[in-house]
Amino acid sequence: MTGYYLSEDAFRDLREIWNYIAADNSDAADKFEHTVYEACDLIAALPMAGAVRKDFTLRPVRFHLVLPYRTYWIVYDPSSRPVEIIRILHTSFDIVAILGYSPPEDLSQL
C-alpha cells in the first residue's frame, strides 16, 4: 500500500462537509468522516479502480463515489505516490467548473 494524503482543498472540503452535517448531528458527521478515510484507504490500495469521468475533466484523475452515501465524489490522482486526494465534492456541484478544465463540447471526440 502506498498511502494517500489530502490536498489542502480536499481537507477543506472534508471540514466543510463535516461542519454542515454536524450542524444537525455530530455523530453522523463523525461517521461520514470515518467513511471517507476508509474510502481513501481503498483508493490508496487500488488507485486504478476509480472511474474516469471525461464528462467532468480530461485531467488524469479518477473519481470514487463515497458509499453508502452516493452523494460525494472523491477526486484523486492515481499516479501520485502517495495518492493525492484532490477534492471531495458533492455530486450536485458543478464539478467541471470546480476542476477548472472543461471537456470538449463534442464528447464523441474523446
Phi, psi (deg, nearest 5) at residue 105 = -65, -35
The ranges assigned to domains in the chain are 4-99
pTM of the predicted structure, to 2 decimals: 0.88
Q: Which long-range contacts (CB under 8 A, 24 or more apart) does 95-102 make?
A: 95/53, 95/56, 95/57, 96/55, 96/56, 96/57, 99/56, 99/57, 99/59, 99/61, 99/75, 101/57, 101/58, 101/59, 102/57
pLDDT score of 103 more than 60: no
Residue-wise pLDDT for 10-65, tens only, equals 999 999 999 999 999 999 999 999 999 999 999 999 999 999 998 898 889 999 99
Residue-wise pLDDT for 17-30, tens only, equals 999 999 999 999 99
- Architecture in CATH for domain 4-99: 2-Layer Sandwich (3.30)
- Hey, what's the cell of 94? 458543478
pLDDT score of 104 more than 90: no
